[in-house]
Amino acid sequence: MDIYPFYGSDVGAALSAGHDIRGGLIGSAVHASHGMERSHWRAMEASMKLLGGYLDDPENV
């Protein structure tokens, strides 16, 4: 698992605008530079399994 303390998303923008929401990001780490992104297919597969496990857990609803 990687932690990116300075990663931004639309959730951060919504929170900065004053919206009272919760959000989270999951996904594989990518190498990205101005429109070029690369990731390994197994990392994408693992991210989908993680999401599937999260959605199947009734404690997360």
Are 3 and 25 within 8 A, CB to CB? no
For the chain, strand residue ranges (E) read 31-33, 36-38
pLDDT at 5 exceeding the cut of 80? no
Residue bearing the bigger pLDDT, 54 or 5: 54
Per-residue pLDDT tens digits for 10-52: 888 898 999 998 887 776 666 666 656 677 788 888 888 888 8
How sure is the predictor about 4, in pLDDT bands with cuts at 50, 70 and 90? low
Give the span between the Cα atoms of 57 and 38, in whole angstroms.
Answer: 30
Q: What is the pLDDT of residue 54?
A: 82
Q: How far is CA 23 from CA 14, 16, 17, 33, in A?
A: 10, 13, 14, 25
**Encoded tokens for 50:** 């993680």
Q: What is the pLDDT of residue 10?
A: 85
**Domain chopping of the chain, boundaries:** 10-60
